[in-house]
Amino acid sequence: MSDLTGRVRGPLAPSTAVQRPLSIDDVEIHGGPLGRWQRINREASIPLGLAQMEKSGAVPNLRLAAGEGDGSFQGYRFQDSDLYKQLEAVAWEHCRHPEREGAYRAFVAESAALLARAQRPDGYLNAHYQVVKPERIFAELEYSHEMYCAGHLFQAAVAAARAGLGEDLLHVARRFADLLVRRFLVGGDDGIDGHAEVETALVELYRLTGERPYLDLARKLIDNRGKGLIKSTGMGPLYAQDHLPVREADTAVGHAVRQLYLEAGVVDVAVETGDADLLASSVRRWEDLVATKTSITGGHGSRHDGEAFGERYELPPDRAYNESCAAIASIHWNWRLLLATGHGRYADLIERTLYNAFAASTSADGTRFFYVNPLQRRADLFEDAYLGRRREWFACACCPPNIMRLVSSLGHYVATTDDEGVSVHQYVPGVIRAGGVVLDVETGYPWDGQVRFTVRSAPGGEWTLKLRVPAWSSTTTLASEPGTAATGTSGRLTPGPDGYAAIRREWQAGDTVTLGLDLTPRVVRPHRRIDALRGCAAIERGPLVYCFEQIDQDADLDDLALAPGAALRTAERDLPGIGTTVLIEADAVRLPPAPAHGLPYTTGADAAPAAPATLTAVPYYQWDNRDGGVMRVWIPLA
């Protein structure tokens, strides 16, 4: 197998990895939910985002910084980062379809030219501080977001360069990065940004340019956390992960997106410097996070206060914050751990997060976005900016362009190569090109559990095809034609300790392998220590978490409970506002009407269930596409 790492057109190109990533355009996604998300991202979301770059002030602010406009600064001090994420989304979209994205090339070129004009001679670039308070540049790093914005600039520049959009943006990025190096690495300033992000971006800039000081600065910024250098955010040291040195912290704390972006940087630095202890600390926090602080949807952040992680097992369904950006950051972190270790548990969590916490962030038509992704919506707060319905944009618009850049780069997360062959982590219909291998993939996943791989071409000699067996699939089958040399042969399959089925042989064009995953719907119960979910259950099918929306029920949803041992029935539908879906119907009971007056506590026993009923569930990611009604993922067990 050839080594692809030197020319990866994608967000991540580690110089050493157990699993090596592919370029975005090495994977064609031809349909299924991911194909649909990429289509509406291109047709609806990105055009909407580009229009918002003017409307929201992101671009006009930079004109002010360049001395070219009238008016005053609009928005937050991190407004520049919206443009950077939008640029990255456009760059990866260009990478997928270079032949039809001329407007994207112009947008990147015009933005790079504006940024170059706005950039100070010393390389500094931040519209808020240049326009509003130049005297405070680098003087309030605890909440300034200057390095955070720089990080998003670096990632956009790396994307543009790798996607074939030239190096104008990279030139701007490097001048700013060089300033950071002069001041914070060579110059001895020990400041760190209150919002992690620049660490992972500096490492990627190093990977692209080979400029070692970028990596050294990323490492210093990580090593400086936990020394009390972040003083006056007013939110305490946990908020910005400054409570303990990174190597000593054993659990995720504080602002969820900050913690998760920090983890991406931690893995990047550990991989590039061969720091096994640093990597082990990230894995330790991952294991704790998965076991005690992760929503069933893969969402992270239990508290609105501080957009933060809660304590262990503090996972309220209605007050779950689960910011869309936290889902994205989690996918970034898990992808790094997957490449560094080759273990399928990280691909499992990517899948859970992608199809649930992340996918729910965007409306079916791609024009509305959630900032917060709770597991229950009550009837009272439909108009609330965070607990209400999806919105076109936000005053703090960190999420929408972040969503767009992940969707346009989804091909990067599907498959990898290693010294043995090709590994497939996510199942999408389309084509995978990896190290001389071309695989056609046919599947109706996640609605259908059969995934058929056909080798279209292959290099000579033996190599291994590895297929992830999701932990949720209780009986998995693997059939191959010709039927030789398959692990476990045809029939039921036990994956290896890394979570993958491995088939090693000399492959010929036309050989096929069909993976059969078990999509029997599952009733899932919470850990007994999650007090907020006690007595409830949820329904999953394949990678999808389901939810109940009022619109699908015959009775008040809050009066329904899942029957003991409920039978679950699936039904394919094409629903207005949603499109293709599979509903699940479950046996339920309708509880007697609850008292509407007096204290909601009693010494009396619950009345007996009144009547048999049916509950109907839709995939969580498809909720809030029909009306603004009540929704819940977790339903009481009768």
- Asked if 561 is part of the footprint of Zn ion (rule: CB under 5 A), the reply reads no
Of residues 585, 602, 597, 590, the one with CA closest to residue 559: 590
Q: Closest CB to Zn ion belongs to which residue? A: 325
Q: How far is the CB of 78 from Zn ion (least distance, A)?
A: 11
Q: Is 622 helix (H, G, I), strand (E, B) or coil?
A: helix
Q: How far is the CB of 308 from Zn ion (least distance, A)?
A: 13
Part in contact with Zn ion (CB under 5 A); list of ranges 315-323, 435-443, 559-567, 622-630: 315-323
Distances (CA, A) of 442 to 29, 491, 564: 10, 20, 37
The whole-angstrom separation of Cα 38 and Cα 407 is 6
307 is a catalytic site residue: yes
301: which residues sit within 8 A by CB, 6+ positions away?
256, 257, 307, 308, 309, 320, 321, 322, 323, 326
Q: How far is the CB of 324 from Zn ion (least distance, A)?
A: 5
Part in contact with Zn ion (CB under 5 A); list of ranges 29-37, 136-144, 321-329, 491-499: 321-329
Part in contact with Zn ion (CB under 5 A); list of ranges 19-27, 240-248, 325-333, 345-353: 325-333
CB of 393 or CB of 463, closer to Zn ion:
393
Of residues 460, 453, 457, the one with CA closest to residue 423: 453
CB of 298 or CB of 521, closer to Zn ion:
298
Q: How far is the CB of 370 from Zn ion (least distance, A)?
A: 10
Beta-strand pair 421-424/476-481: unpaired
Q: How far is the CB of 149 from Zn ion (least distance, A)?
A: 14
**Chain centre to alpha carbon of residue 244:** 26
- Asked if 387 is part of the footprint of Zn ion (rule: CB under 5 A), the reply reads no
Part in contact with Zn ion (CB under 5 A); list of ranges 309-317, 372-380, 392-400, 436-444: 392-400
240: which residues sit within 8 A by CB, 6+ positions away?
142, 194, 195, 196, 230, 233, 254, 255, 258
Q: How far is the CB of 325 from Zn ion (least distance, A)?
A: 3
CB of 128 or CB of 219, closer to Zn ion:
128
SS3 content of the chain, % helix, strand, coil (to 5): 40, 20, 40
Q: Render 371-422 in DSSP notation, one character per residue.
A: S---SEE-SS-TT-TTTSS-BS--SS-SHHHHHHHHHHTGGGGSEEE-SSEE
- C-alpha angle with apex 594: 592 to 597, nearest 5 degrees? 150
296: which residues sit within 8 A by CB, 6+ positions away?
356, 375, 524, 526, 538, 540, 545, 633, 634
- Asked if 399 is part of the footprint of Zn ion (rule: CB under 5 A), the reply reads yes
Part in contact with Zn ion (CB under 5 A); list of ranges 220-228, 319-327, 374-382, 502-510: 319-327
User: Angle, nearest 10°, between helix axes 146-162 and 168-180?
Assistant: 140
The whole-angstrom separation of Cα 308 and Cα 260 is 11
- Asked if 326 is part of the footprint of Zn ion (rule: CB under 5 A), the reply reads no
CB of 214 or CB of 369, closer to Zn ion:
369
Q: Is 310 helix (H, G, I), strand (E, B) or coil?
A: coil
Our CA dihedral for 534, 536, 539, 545, rounded to 10 degrees, sits at -50
Q: Which of 289, 325, 364, 618 binds Zn ion (CB under 5 A)?
A: 325
Query: Exactly one of 95, 149, 398, 536 is catalytic; which is it?
Result: 398
Distances (CA, A) of 366 to 323, 355, 576, 636: 18, 15, 15, 32
Query: Exactly one of 88, 142, 146, 307 is catalytic; which is it?
Result: 307
390: which residues sit within 8 A by CB, 6+ positions away?
361, 362, 363, 368, 369, 370, 624
Part in contact with Zn ion (CB under 5 A); list of ranges 317-325, 453-461, 501-509, 597-605: 317-325
Q: How far is the CB of 152 from Zn ion (least distance, A)?
A: 12
199 is a catalytic site residue: no
Q: How many residues lie near Zn ion (CB under 5 A)?
A: 4
CB of 398 or CB of 404, closer to Zn ion:
398
CB of 367 or CB of 614, closer to Zn ion:
367
Query: 465: part of which helix (H) or strand (E)?
Result: strand 462-468
Q: How far is the CB of 148 from Zn ion (least distance, A)?
A: 12
CB of 129 or CB of 321, closer to Zn ion:
321
CB of 402 or CB of 423, closer to Zn ion:
402
- Asked if 398 is part of the footprint of Zn ion (rule: CB under 5 A), the reply reads yes
Catalytic residues: 307, 398
Residues that bind Zn ion (CB under 5 A): 323, 325, 398-399
